[in-house]
């Protein structure tokens, strides 16, 4: 049950098995169906999720009621509504599984307990944030001044799983193009 999470942690630095088990003991298993909402708009995020299996997305609605996908996370990654999780203010987004998934979640309390008491976990947190930051930057920079075709190529290059695992509609809103345009582009490679 914890093997993927343990792998993830071990990749971040040397750690003894006792500490590893200590960390894992704070995570609980959650099995979900497809399209299950883990956090709703205006709720306060109190869990950090590690994806054992499956896929999760963050999204919001435009004022016209259309869904905009913000972020996709797949197997072996952490995900939460970070601004809400950090500052404990209402989330301006939803967290949702997009397929049957197996998640390990840790409460914010336990999470910060680990950050404060285990230096390696603090380091892991810093690295999650650093990586998140770098990935966001790449996404901004990757998209700046790109036309629709270039965006699609960029995503294929940088997040190869995305177009395979995610519906057209979701991918299109993530890329900021219309579903029709994405469909047309895909049909030409």
β-sheet bridge partners, residue 29:
104
By CB under 8 A, residue 176 contacts a copy of itself: yes
The DSSP symbol for 176 reads T
The residue among 81 and 185 lying less far from DNA, judged by its C-beta, is 185
Handedness of CA 127, 128, 133, 137 (dihedral sign): positive
Which residue is listed with tokens 């109190």? 46
By CB under 8 A, residue 173 contacts a copy of itself: yes
Question: DSSP of 64-80, one letter per residue?
Answer: TS-EEEEEEEETT-EE-
Phi, psi of 54 (to 5 degrees): 110, -160
Of residues 1, 29, 129, 164, which one binds a copy of itself by CB under 8 A? 129
DSSP-H helix ranges across 88-187: 108-117, 119-143, 148-158, 160-165, 168-175, 179-187
Q: How far is the CB of 57 from DNA (least distance, A)?
A: 12
Q: How far is the CB of 172 from DNA (least distance, A)?
A: 7
* Gap between the Cα atoms of 105 and 49, Å rounded: 4
By CB under 8 A, residue 62 contacts a copy of itself: yes
By CB under 8 A, residue 141 contacts a copy of itself: yes
| 174 CA to centre of own chain | 13
The residue among 9 and 177 lying less far from DNA, judged by its C-beta, is 177
Binding segment for a copy of itself (CB under 8 A), chosen from 6-14, 23-31, 96-104, 118-126, is 118-126
The residue among 41 and 143 lying less far from a copy of itself, judged by its C-beta, is 143
By CB under 8 A, residue 144 contacts a copy of itself: yes
Find the distance separating the first CA and the last CA of the chain, reported in whole Å. Answer: 39
Site residue total, a copy of itself (CB under 8 A):
27
Q: How far is the CB of 51 from a copy of itself (least distance, A)?
A: 19
Q: How far is the CB of 31 from a copy of itself (least distance, A)?
A: 28
Question: For binding to DNA (CB under 7 A), which residues are involved?
Answer: 34-35, 147-149, 167-169, 176-181, 183-184, 186-187
């Amino acid at each position: 049950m914890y093997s993927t999470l343990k792998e993830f942690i071990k990749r971040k630095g040397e750690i003894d098995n006792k500490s590893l088990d200590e960390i894992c003991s704070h995570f609980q298993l959650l099995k979900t169906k497809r399209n299950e909402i883990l956090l709703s708009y205006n709720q306060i995020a109190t869990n950090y999720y590690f994806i054992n299996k499956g896929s999760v997305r963050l999204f919001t609605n435009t004022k016209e009621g259309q869904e905009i996908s913000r972020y996709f996370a797949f197997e072996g990654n952490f995900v939460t509504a970070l601004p809400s999780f950090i500052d404990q203010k209402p989330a301006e987004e939803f967290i949702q599984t997009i397929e049957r998934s197996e998640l390990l979640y840790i409460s914010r309390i336990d999470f910060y307990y680990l950050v404060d008491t285990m230096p390696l976990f603090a380091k892991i947190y810093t690295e999650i944030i650093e990586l998140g930051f770098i990935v966001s930057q790449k996404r901004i920079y990757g998209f700046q001044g790109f036309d629709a075709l270039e965006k699609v190529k960029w995503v294929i290059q940088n997040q190869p799983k995305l177009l395979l695992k995610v519906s057209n509609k979701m991918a299109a809103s993530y890329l900021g193009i219309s579903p029709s345009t994405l469909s047309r582009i895909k049909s030409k490679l």
